[in-house]
Amino acid sequence: MNETIKMVHHNPKADQGQRTVFNQETAAVASKYHESFPGYQPTPLAALRNLAASLGIAGMYVKDESFRFGLNAFKGLGGSYCLGKYIAGKLGEDISQVDFDKITSPQTRDQVGEITFVTATDGNHGRGIAWTANMLGQKAVVYMPKGSVEERLHNIRKFGAKAEITDMNYDDTVAFASKCAEENGWVLVQDTAWEGYEEIPTWIMQGYTTLAMEAARQLGEVKPTHIFLQAGVGAMSGALAAFFADYYREAKPVITIVEPNKADCIYQTALADDGKLHVVDGDLHTIMAGLACGVPCTIGWNELNRYAENFASIPDWVAAKGMRILGNPAGDDPRVISGESGASTTGFVCEILQNASLEELKKTIGLDEKSVVLCISTEGDTDKENYRSIVWDGKYPSC
Ligand SMILES: Cc1ncc(COP(=O)(O)O)c(C=O)c1O
């Protein structure tokens, strides 16, 4: 239980003149597409004033993605946008000309024929793909790594997808899904990229920026000084870091990436800083299931290398602490039901600000009484049993 937080400081390698494909314009296109979905609502941005006061900072905002499309996690944004881009391409149209009604119309279905989309996922991405394929009248096949929770499997099957839990870890499951796509003529829709497979992951990452655009609009005049983003393969954090850098320009917030110490491939890559991606092997056993990935996403790392200042590696108890804090708000702060991966960044911020032995890290990040912090709670209680055992029974107590 003596595991503690590690962090490496990094000099962002951004060329200020260069814009990436995750910018305000691409985010506006993704946002417009998502806004055409029935029941679309921006997810709430919780202003945790009492928590900020108790931590000694000026503001603490948490974007609550548990409300996203009724899917309990942000991931559906990427899957739905990527399938939209793919189908728009088949129709010979640009995504900016395509909306929900068009993409789900029987004419579109007739024109593009039957497509099977396949992916490997711990749960949240697969749920988004299954949900979208179901609405489009298309097929989805989802492979999950060993140890995946039955509840998440059930939530994918609910949308008519063929889904199963394999006996492989996440990265081997991705390789397996890729092989199945090749052998069966299916379309691989993976939420990570590698050399030679970058177009679809780019679309998925652009889809994620809808949430960043919403957060920036909700914050309005309030400018965050620090943004904390959790990473599995680093696709979501890469896209959001690039978007926020483009949006805030010279007032770019300090960006800190947070990962579980059992699957800290982005941290290891930043630590080595040798121009290569560094992989973490093994079972990647962590309660932060959505972040249990050992191979960095190529495109994600490119953006993080340009725009992120700090990379942290945290033990499970830090995420558990974040879940308890968000679920039991101070005073009249709104409650955020946040799962293991979702609460990792809030847990990290609270620990850094409350634990005197981490003062050096606090200084490196530059947190002080003027700081305005933005975290994304990327999921709700996607594993309800574990959520209760942590929040009710105190499993994974703070060290
Ligand atoms: C809830 C949750 N948060 C964060 C992430 C991290 O996203 P990425 O793998 O793009 O780093 C995931 C990935 O599945 C997730 O499920």
Output the pLDDT for position 13. Answer: 87
Share of the chain above pLDDT 70, in %: 99
Dist. CA 93 → ligand 1 center (Å): 30
- Does ligand 1 have an atom closer than 6 angstroms to the CB of 365? no
For atom 16 of ligand 1, the residue with the nearest CA is 290
Output the pLDDT for position 18. Answer: 78
Tokens of 347: 């847990």
Q: What is the CATH number of domain 76-190?
A: 3.40.50.1100
- Does ligand 1 have an atom closer than 6 angstroms to the CB of 128? no
Output the pLDDT for position 399. Answer: 82
Count the residues in the chain. Answer: 399
For atom 9 of ligand 1, the residue with the nearest CA is 232
Average pLDDT of span 361-369: 98
**Residue 99 banded pLDDT, cuts 50, 70, 90:** very high
| DSSP 8-state class, residue 73 | B
Q: Using an 8 Å Cβ cutoff, are 253 and 307 in contact? A: no
**The model scores a pTM over 0.95:** yes
User: End-to-end alpha-carbon separation of the chain, Å?
Assistant: 7
List the chain domain ranges. Answer: 6-74+201-391, 76-190
May I ask the CATH architecture of the domain 6-74+201-391? 3-Layer(aba) Sandwich (3.40)
| 75 catalytic residue (yes or no) | yes
Residue type, 22: F
Average pLDDT of span 54-64: 98
Domains 6-74+201-391 and 76-190 share a fold: yes
| 333 catalytic residue (yes or no) | no
- Does ligand 1 have an atom closer than 6 angstroms to the CB of 266? no
Residue type, 194: W
Check pLDDT > 70 for residue 295. yes
Residue type, 338: S
Instruction: Count the Cβ atoms, other than its own, within 10 Å of residue 276.
Output: 8
State the Cα–Cα distance between residues 68 and 235, nearest whole angstrom.
18
- Does ligand 1 have an atom closer than 6 angstroms to the CB of 342? yes
Check pLDDT > 70 for residue 83. yes
Strand partners for 73: 379
Q: Can you say whether the dihedral through the CA atoms of 244, 250, 251, 252 is positive or negative? A: positive
- Does ligand 1 have an atom closer than 6 angstroms to the CB of 66? no
Helices (H), the chain: 24-35, 49-55, 76-91, 100-103, 106-112, 124-136, 150-157, 170-184, 199-219, 235-248, 265-272, 298-307, 316-327, 344-354, 359-365, 384-391
CA 168 to chain centre: 22
Which among 170, 341, 382 is the best mutation to test ligand 1's pocket, defined by most ligand atoms within 8 Å of the CB? 341
Average pLDDT of span 190-197: 95
Which residues neighbour 257 within 8 Å (Cβ) at sequence distance 6 or greater? 228, 229, 230, 231, 234, 237, 241, 266, 267, 270, 304, 308, 310, 311, 312
Q: Using an 8 Å Cβ cutoff, are 326 and 160 in contact? A: no
Q: Range with the lowest mean pLDDT among 193-197, 279-283, 317-321?
A: 279-283
Q: Using an 8 Å Cβ cutoff, are 387 and 336 in contact? A: no
**Residue 17 banded pLDDT, cuts 50, 70, 90:** low
Give the pLDDT confidence of 236-280 residue by residue, as tens digits. 999 999 999 999 999 999 999 999 999 999 999 999 999 999 999
Output the pLDDT for position 244. Answer: 97
Dist. CA 87 → ligand 1 center (Å): 24
Output the pLDDT for position 69. Answer: 95
- Does ligand 1 have an atom closer than 6 angstroms to the CB of 190? no
Average pLDDT of span 151-177: 94
- Does ligand 1 have an atom closer than 6 angstroms to the CB of 378? yes
**Residue 122 banded pLDDT, cuts 50, 70, 90:** confident
- Does ligand 1 have an atom closer than 6 angstroms to the CB of 235? yes
For atom 13 of ligand 1, the residue with the nearest CA is 290
Dist. CA 106 → ligand 1 center (Å): 33
Dist. CA 113 → ligand 1 center (Å): 31
Sheet arrangement for strand 187-188:
162-165, 139-144, 116-120, 187-188
Which among 291, 299, 340 is the best mutation to test ligand 1's pocket, defined by most ligand atoms within 8 Å of the CB? 291
Output the pLDDT for position 16. Answer: 64
Q: Look over the chain and give the mean of its residue pLDDT values, rounded to a whole number.
A: 96
Catalytic option among 63, 64, 75, 264? 75
Q: Using an 8 Å Cβ cutoff, are 163 and 180 in contact? A: no
